[in-house]
Amino acid sequence: MKTKKIEIDATKYELFFRAFTDKRLEVLRVIKKEHSSSVYELANFLNRNLKNVSDDVHYLAGLGLIEFEKAKSNGREKTIPTVDYEKILLEIPV
């Protein structure tokens, strides 16, 4: 099972909670499960506004939680969001 390790300063709790909202976790799960072929298709799966989904995807990509693959379809280049891990582990030192 592949895990993803990223480091977020856990002493800044607001950053953690901003990063891992229910909607953003749902974005990760749907990308993993449905293998959406574009952010547009992902927004349709989620039944959410395209701009909001795009903002979430790019925010999560900035944290290293989503990667993008390039592909061509009908002569057009597509950017496909991917999630290549099974879980996110959180460690908080005490």
Q: Summarize the confidence of residues 88-94 as an average pLDDT.
A: 71
Predicted local distance difference test score (pLDDT) of residue 60: 94
Task: For residue range 27-81, list pLDDT tens digits in order.
Answer: 999 999 999 999 999 999 999 999 999 999 999 999 889 999 998 878 888 899 9
Q: Write down the CATH number for the domain with range 11-84.
A: 1.10.10.10
Query: Residue 59 to residues 3, 24, 27, 38, 67: CA-CA distances in angstroms?
Result: 19, 9, 11, 16, 11
Tokens linked to 52: 């909001």
Predicted TM-score of the model (pTM): 0.82
Contact 50, 39 (CB under 8 A): yes
Predicted local distance difference test score (pLDDT) of residue 89: 75
Q: Which sequence spans correspond to the domains of the chain? A: 11-84
Predicted local distance difference test score (pLDDT) of residue 53: 98
